[in-house]
Amino acid sequence: MPAPAMRAVRYDRYGPPDVLEVRALPRPVPQAGQVLVRVDAGSVNAVDAKVRSGALRLLTGRSFPRGVGADFAGTITEVGPGGDPDLPGRPVWGALDPLAGGATDEYLAVGPDAYALAPAGLDPVAAAALPTVGVTAVLAVEAVRLEPGRRVLVVGASGGVGNAAAQLAAAAGARVATVSGRANLDFCREHGAADAYAHEDLDGLRAERFDAVIDTHGTDLRAYRRLLRPGGRMATVAAKGAGAALVSVLTPGPRIGLVQAKATRVRLERLADLVERGDLRPAVERVYAMEELAEAHRDIATGHSRGKRVVRIGA
């Protein structure tokens, strides 16, 4: 009997967003240790567009067709041989390796480290917005070792990672200042910022001093580092910031830590706890249909965001 079909996004060559196509493919079959997830929503990360464009081809290779996306939320429908029969029906969230992609498929067969139970009470569109950026934000906040009452600056706080980091820092009792586009100052204030600055005009920021800086944009890192008080800590999650992070290790002054996050089961479970405690709420900028994924890739490539772009998977 042929495997049941599913809808999935694939592309046959690196290129502009228009290379993305919705196709009918056979559903995967879960192997031992895997579960089959019916995906209801996925979200778009900046790296998805970079992979699709071919900018990372040295890492991603030349094997086509390729799937797209890392973050997903949905429901377990089947378990592999010997799997827990209680799992079907449970809502889950997770993230695939972003360099491999495939999360915008209607069905995914995933191993235990790629998913966890989704936070209670969160619908799949909201849940899909968080796995990668939420885990990254948790690690970034940990990297600067925030304590209650300390002042932290979050750069790029209207974006996926920065928005989550600002919320988590505020929930940890820090006084949060943010840098975002001028159009997003109120959005940042609604998501943890006590003070909000616009990257179009940073004059007001220069006299300020912080105990920690969390950067998600990767530019002007030396200037942001000068805003640290003695003993202050700084981390960036942006690959663009890797050079400045390396130089900071080799030169006097505070080091800039480079945070690289992988969404493991343990981290996803911890993230779910933070959502259930009310420390973090997903911010969804726009929901796209599967057929609109190319548009979502064009939008993320602008480098400007107000939360996350989410794709509804399925018909």
Ligand X SMILES: NC(=O)c1ccc[n+]([C@@H]2O[C@H](COP(=O)([O-])OP(=O)(O)OC[C@H]3O[C@@H](n4cnc5c(N)ncnc54)[C@H](OP(=O)(O)O)[C@@H]3O)[C@@H](O)[C@H]2O)c1
Q: Which residues bind ligand X (CB under 6 A)?
A: 45-47, 132-133, 136, 155-156, 158-162, 179-181, 184, 199, 216-217, 219, 237-239, 259-261, 300, 303-305
Q: Which is nearer to ligand X, 38 or 52 (CB)?
A: 52
Q: Name residues whose C-beta falls within 8 Å of residue 170's C-beta, 6 or more positions apart in sequence.
A: 176, 192, 193, 194
Q: Residue number with the shortest CB distance to ligand X?
A: 159
Please tell me the distance from the alpha carbon of residue 238 to that of residue 127, in angstroms, as a whole number. 23
Q: Which is nearer to ligand X, 46 or 272 (CB)?
A: 46
In whole angstroms, the minimum distance from the beta carbon of 149 to ligand X comes to: 25
Q: Describe the strand order of the beta sheet including 210-215 as a list of residue ranges.
A: 193-198, 175-180, 151-155, 210-215, 228-236, 256-258
In whole angstroms, the minimum distance from the beta carbon of 290 to ligand X comes to: 20
In whole angstroms, the minimum distance from the beta carbon of 240 to ligand X comes to: 6
Q: Which is nearer to ligand X, 77 or 219 (CB)?
A: 219
How many residues make up the chain in this entry? 315
Integer CA distances (angstroms), 294 to 11, 48, 79, 106, 285, in order = 11, 11, 32, 17, 16
Q: Name residues whose C-beta falls within 8 Å of residue 80's C-beta, 6 or more positions apart in sequence.
A: 30, 31, 32, 33, 34, 35, 36, 109
Q: Which is nearer to ligand X, 109 or 259 (CB)?
A: 259
In whole angstroms, the minimum distance from the beta carbon of 252 to ligand X comes to: 25
Q: Which is nearer to ligand X, 186 or 269 (CB)?
A: 186
In whole angstroms, the minimum distance from the beta carbon of 7 to ligand X comes to: 25
In whole angstroms, the minimum distance from the beta carbon of 36 to ligand X comes to: 27
| Residues paired with residue 37 on neighbouring β-strands, in sequence order | 76, 108
In whole angstroms, the minimum distance from the beta carbon of 133 to ligand X comes to: 5
Q: Which is nearer to ligand X, 184 or 248 (CB)?
A: 184
Q: Which is nearer to ligand X, 20 or 51 (CB)?
A: 51
Q: Which is nearer to ligand X, 74 or 159 (CB)?
A: 159
In whole angstroms, the minimum distance from the beta carbon of 30 to ligand X comes to: 27
Please tell me the distance from the alpha carbon of residue 154 to that of residue 86, in angstroms, as a whole number. 41
Q: Which is nearer to ligand X, 232 or 257 (CB)?
A: 257
In whole angstroms, the minimum distance from the beta carbon of 286 to ligand X comes to: 12
